[in-house]
Amino acid sequence: MSKHTERAKELRSEVPVSSNCAQTVMRVYAKEIGLDEDLAAAIGSNFGGGMRCGATCGAIAAGYMVLGAKGIEAPAVLNEFRKCMAKKHDGMTDCADLLRANAAKGGEKKPHCDNMIEEVITLIDELTDGR
């Protein structure tokens, strides 16, 4: 398990959970991208729940922000990121669709979101090779 994944698990284990999916991803990488955790959390605050309206998953949106902050702007890499995430979830990347599909399988929301966060972090780490 990477240090990023470990930190995400710590954040998501807080009771009550104080970081949404986007905030968690942002906070995990905050120092590496030149932010303190509070500012990273503030930046990610309105991206949870698919920008609070069920659109693109907040973890995925935060993944794009982290990749950009790490200097990854190549369309091919960003397309690979999105395709990899969509492939793992039957082509879906929107929060509302992902949660609906998860619920239809009998899944609970928090474990699903925790999994999305972990998948995004793993993919960021693979795409950035530790940058």
CA distance 128 to 131: 5
Closest CA to 11 of 98, 81, 91, 114: 114
Tracing tokens 């990854």 back to the chain, one arrives at 72
Whether pLDDT at 130 is above 70: no
List, for residues 57-96, the tens digit of each pLDDT value.
Answer: 999 999 999 999 999 999 999 999 999 999 999 999 999 9
Range of the domain at 100: 3-128
Question: 53: which DSSP letter?
Answer: I
Number of other residues whose CB lies within 10 A of the CB of residue 84: 15
Q: Give the global pTM.
A: 0.95
Give Cβ neighbours of residue 93 (< 8 Å, ≥ 6 apart): 56, 57, 60, 82, 85, 86
3-class DSSP state of 7: helix
What pLDDT sits at residue 129?
84
Specify the number of domains making up the chain.
1
